[in-house]
A and B are shown apart, each in its own frame.
Chain A
Amino acid sequence: MIARRCPALRPAFFLAHALSIIWASTAPAKTTTIDDSGTQALEPAVSMRWKTAAPSRSGADNLMVGTTTIRVRINVTPWLHHSGRIYLNLPAQQPGPITASWITQGRLSSGQVHSGNRALIYAGPIATPFIEDVLKFQFGVDGTLMRRSFPVTFHFEMDDG
């Protein structure tokens, strides 16, 4: 009797174990906005200029671009000695579609993002309380949407699930 009951227990154990693994892998990552209060702009404002001096015959080419350099310092102390994925999030905002691209000095990843989306800039272990880098940004906006100055807001967020 004992010999018959043991094989019956083993499949039940393995099934429960497998289910627990699947459940863990599909659990959503927790996203947390990172404190970037130490971030500073090296230029206070971004001067936007026409990408092309002249318009097209159809009037469809009205992109304005501007660059700025930002010294990024984000506080990742809550995730120290863990691994995580850090994103730059550019929310959808006025005056309309905005693109941002950036080049880093290597601590973070270079990339680009369209407003309403986010882009991965770091993935790996968090070994220091702060992550710092200097990012040279280029913003792009349709000039027909841009009659005056306007603020563009973005933030960094951590997925640590």
Chain B
Amino acid sequence: MRTTVALPGLRRALIGAVLFGAVSDAASAYTATLTPASPLTVYLQVGVGSFTNDYINGGQPGNNTTVNTVSATVASAAVGNGTAQAMTTNSTATQSYWDGYTYCSVPGQIYIGGFYRTTGAATAAALVTATVPAALTDTTGDTIAFSKIHWTSSGNGDSGAEPFPAGAFVNGGVQNVGSMSSNTWNESCWTFSYLNNTVPPAGTFTGVVRYTLSAP
């Protein structure tokens, strides 16, 4: 009798020990939640820009409010003769902030580059647009159509398609001038020219084009 009573008690103890061990294992894991913070970053530079250092040396992008100029002075004897006039810039930006490589040449070229950072898989490209006035104007109200200004695109040692290709301004409106794939650095050097195939009145004609980067 004593043996019969003792056996069930021993069985319960063994089963209890097995269950206890299983519960202990199931509770033993630690979870940390990883959360992307400020994941979207955009940077567009036309002319001079600001970086704390080259990207490959840990550089951080900054704000730069400089508005650079591109201009041409046409000699009176050449006005309207159909020979395109090279335009020059007051921009001093020649080196890429990616690695410090001298990518553009001044005063003949103006640097345009940037990127947009986003988490997740590759998205639709970010677009760069130019908001263009209808015309360049002088102080007396005379005009030159903005479409008289064209540009080519290249870069020192570059090959392949440019992210910011060659083009010509529209006469007023917003036009696409390039695009950026997500999480890539994009840059080109633009060389502007004035077509010089009309004869406007003598004067100084100016206009401001604003460039905008729009990320998805």
- Interface residues in chain A, defined as those with a beta carbon under 8 Å from any beta carbon in chain B: 32-37, 39, 41, 44-50, 52-59, 62, 64, 66, 68, 70, 137, 139, 141, 143-156
Inter-chain contacts of A153 with B (CB < 8 A): 29-31
Q: In the assembled complex, how far is the CB of residue A44 from the closest CB belonging to chain B, in whole angstroms?
A: 8
Q: Is the CB of A47 within 8 A of B115?
A: no
Q: Is the CB of A50 within 8 A of B33?
A: no
Inter-chain contacts of A56 with B (CB < 8 A): 55, 98, 184-185
Query: What is the size category of the interface that chain B forms with chain A?
Result: 35 or more
**Which B122-173 residues have a C-beta within 8 angstroms of A?**
122
Instruction: Give bound CA distance, A40 to B121, whole Å.
Output: 33
Residue of A nearest to B114 (CB): A54
Residue of A nearest to B39 (CB): A143
Q: In the assembled complex, how far is the CB of residue B23 from the closest CB belonging to chain A, in whole angstroms?
A: 10
Q: Does B35 contact A (CB under 8 A)?
A: yes
Residue of B nearest to A91 (CB): B29
Q: Does B60 contact A (CB under 8 A)?
A: yes
Inter-chain contacts of B60 with A (CB < 8 A): 53
Inter-chain contacts of A143 with B (CB < 8 A): 36, 39, 117, 119-120, 183
**Which 7 pairs show the lowest CB-CB distances between chains A and B?**
A147-B120, A47-B37, A59-B184, A149-B35, A155-B29, A55-B183, A54-B55
Q: Is the CB of A41 within 8 A of B32?
A: yes
Instruction: Give bound CA distance, A32 to B183, whole Å.
Output: 43
Q: Is the CB of A54 within 8 A of B29?
A: no
Inter-chain contacts of B120 with A (CB < 8 A): 143-147
Instruction: Give bound CA distance, A135 to B23, whole Å.
Output: 26
Q: Is the CB of B58 within 8 A of A52?
A: yes
Q: In the assembled complex, how far is the CB of residue B33 from the closest CB belonging to chain A, in whole angstroms?
A: 5
Q: Does B34 contact A (CB under 8 A)?
A: yes
Residue of B nearest to A61 (CB): B183
Which listed residue (A52, A57, A139, A147) contacts B32, Cβ 8 A? A139
Q: Is the CB of B61 within 8 A of A46?
A: no
